[in-house]
Structure 1
Amino acid sequence: MYTFLSRSPFLGGIGFTFILAAFGILLAGLPGFQYIGALATSILLAILFRQLFGYPTALASGLQFSTKKLLRVAIILFGLKLNIDVVLNEGLGLLAKGAGTIIVAITLTMILSRWFKANTMISMLLAVGTGVCGAAAIAAVSPILKSKEEDTALSVGIIALVGTIFGIAYTIIGPLLPLSAEQYGIWSGLSLHEIAHVALAAEPAGEDALAMALLAKLGRVLLLIPLSFILVFWMRRKRHDETEAQVNFPWFLIGFIVMSLVGTYLLGDVIPTSEAFLTGVSHVTTFLLAMAMSGLGLNVSLASIKSKAMRPLAAMLITSVVLSFMAYFVL
């Protein structure tokens, strides 16, 4: 198969990430793996392939296309999942609390990373992922921060693992806390890492808890837009101070905003659509993200995990615990 794919490096590389993503999504449906998610599973498969067989250099052009171009397309389509109207009409208070989550996550993680002398880029990616929406946020800001593909892949894997552990822990702890279903949902939505982790934690508590959890989480997703532009401004100043090349404007974020507006105000009202169509778009988005994550995973050398990722992981774990307590006491 590898020889067949290498006949056309560009298409072969894309096809290779397609195969890894397909296996990752299939595995994610199995018991145990569903808590990790399709994106993390795809990355793990790619990392395993890299360690066993090395990086498929002959397919590099197609792998780079999946990692960079398809990633941006997936982030644009991800905008359809963000209902801006619901957040602005029903969750302004949660939006403010979500902003607090992001500020604390980034500030505390970066302070701890300095104390621990951790890798700055991985720490920053984990800080954004912890504060906003996990792997999707990391994928969105990595081009802005000019992170190495290996650092991005490591960060996605770490946040998927930690978020899954926290999501399961919430389902165990939740019934023991003096919280209503709505309060428990808000707590989950304000403090957990990814939308999947929020759904994992809140679903057992009932429909009301899940609705409030997703509303709180969507507010944090919405704040990815201003945060990204702040990071663009910060990077441009940083590069200017270092007399380096200017940071390119992340045009895919405009696409993300446009798709958010289309999904919120046009689909269903102005443009006829169906639940099946939106479900299909969601599946395509997940598959494209899984392909991009597979390409990223092929860049990971396990030898670098211990030297680069353990200290950022420690900083992120402490921050995640602090966010859980903070979100609980602001309810």
Structure 2
Amino acid sequence: MNLSQRKIQLIYGTIAALCFTPILSPAIALVIGIVLSMAGLKLKNTPLKTSFILQASIVLMGFGMNLKEVIETSQTAFVETAVSVICVMSLGIVLGKILKLDSNVSLLIASGTAICGGSAIAAVSNVLNPKKYQISFSLAVIFTLNALALFIFPKIGHYFHLSQSTFGHWAAIAIHDTSSVVGAGAIYGEKALKIATTVKLVRALWIIPVSIIISFSQKKQGNSKAQLPYFIFIFVAAILITYLVPSGQNTYEHLSWIGKKGMILALFFIGTDISIKETKEAGWKSFLLGILLWISIASGSLLILINQ
């Protein structure tokens, strides 16, 4: 499709604006970006850098985290999330080697499954500096399974007659993105929603140690492109500011909202960098890894919670 750069800029500007409205979800924004790329509608000399948008968005989302709630739920949620994160990350690395996947893809999918979907992939990608198709394909895997979880989990919960508390913990541990965790919890019940949200908050904080550990491991392996995720420390500072200066709550809510919408914008730009050739390089094994990890954490955590 041959269009002038001026018209392409108009298209990109319109979609970028829509990213800050309820119309576009993260998954839809990513798909639109991929469609534009496949159609050959590339924006040249863009002043926006996707990595900066990702980092800034993660930092801003820190203003939406309530440190007090994290501390209050940490006695039980910390152990649950720690075990799940360690198990999924370890299993992801092992399965990635068995399937002979690129180590970057394995780490991205494992991080997205273990911690908090697209946000974790965004944070880890800034440490690994993977190829853009590796990021987009990892996001596609996570978003697909995340969407399924929103509909499947409440049905499974009712089938096994799970209590509100048990379902809340299960959803927070086994569903990827916060949006679907909240959605599934809301469908199941008010108590399930509250528990799922707070436990998910604790799980999301694992972005910090995981990103730092991966960064140092890459340095030890001689990966000169690996970067220490300095923005993670700003992310922590944002969380602390909301706790230490509670008077700015209205401002924090606005900053958190910008961060969430900025993440959607970043996913759109990531999608525009995808090509059919690069997608084929990722292969079906990436999807298989995501499915295996998801089934493992969902079934394993459910069995443990039921038998507690």
Q: TM-score, normalised by structure 1?
A: 0.84
Count how many residue pairs are aligned between Structure 1 and Structure 2: 303
Match of 1:19 in 2: 14
- The CA deviation at 1:186 is 0.6
Match of 1:96 in 2: 79
Q: How does 1:51-130 map to 2 (within 5 A)?
A: 51-56=38-43, 58-59=44-45, 61-62=46-47, 65-130=48-113
What amino acid is the match of 1:245? S
* Percent identity over paired residues: 22
Secondary structure of the residue aligned to 2:60 is helix
What amino acid is the match of 2:131? K
Match of 1:34 in 2: none
- The CA deviation at 1:279 is 4.0
Secondary structure of the residue aligned to 2:130 is coil
Match of 2:260 in 1: 286
- The CA deviation at 1:193 is 0.5
What amino acid is the match of 1:211? K
CA contact (8 A) 1:110 1:127 kept: yes
Q: Say yes or no: does 1:38 pair with 2:16.
A: no
Gaps spanning 5+ residues in structure 1: where? Answer: 7-11, 30-36
Q: How does 1:129-144 map to 2 (within 5 A)?
A: 129-144=112-127
Q: Distance in 2 between matches of 1:128 and 1:330?
A: 22
2:229 to 247, 250, 255: 250
Q: Say yes or no: does 1:262 pair with 2:241.
A: yes
CA contact (8 A) 1:135 1:194 kept: yes
Q: Distance in 2 between matches of 1:16 and 1:232?
A: 37
CA contact (8 A) 1:82 1:221 kept: no
Note closer, same or farther for the CA distance 1:247–1:99 as it changes in structure 2 (3 Å cut): same
Q: Distance in 2 between matches of 1:233 and 1:54?
A: 38
Secondary structure of the residue aligned to 1:132 is helix
What amino acid is the match of 1:78? M
Note closer, same or farther for the CA distance 1:313–1:25 as it changes in structure 2 (3 Å cut): farther
1:160 to 121, 143, 149: 143
Q: Which moved more, 1:120-129 or 1:296-305?
A: 296-305
Per-residue CA shift, 1:229-257, capped at 9, x if unaligned?
A: 11111111111xxxx53633222111101
Q: TM-score, normalised by structure 2?
A: 0.90
After superposition, the CA RMSD in angstroms is 2.2
Per-residue CA shift, 1:261-289, capped at 9, x if unaligned?
A: 1123323xxx3433xx4443233112211
CA contact (8 A) 2:53 2:266 kept: yes
Q: Distance in 2 between matches of 1:167 and 1:157?
A: 16
Per-residue CA shift, 1:102-141, capped at 9, x if unaligned?
A: 1111111221122222232112101001000000010011
- The CA deviation at 1:101 is 1.1
- The CA deviation at 1:42 is 0.9
CA contact (8 A) 1:150 1:300 kept: yes
- The CA deviation at 1:304 is 3.1
Per-residue CA shift, 1:156-196, capped at 9, x if unaligned?
A: 12211111112211022221113111111111001110101
Gaps spanning 5+ residues in structure 2: where? Answer: none
Note closer, same or farther for the CA distance 1:246–1:288 as it changes in structure 2 (3 Å cut): closer
Note closer, same or farther for the CA distance 1:82–1:307 as it changes in structure 2 (3 Å cut): same
- The CA deviation at 1:24 is 5.0
Match of 1:326 in 2: 300
Q: Distance in 2 between matches of 1:287 and 1:16?
A: 18
Extract structure 1 runs of 4+ deviating beyond 4 A: 15-18
CA contact (8 A) 2:242 2:249 kept: no
CA contact (8 A) 2:62 2:236 kept: yes
- The CA deviation at 1:89 is 2.1
Match of 1:3 in 2: 5
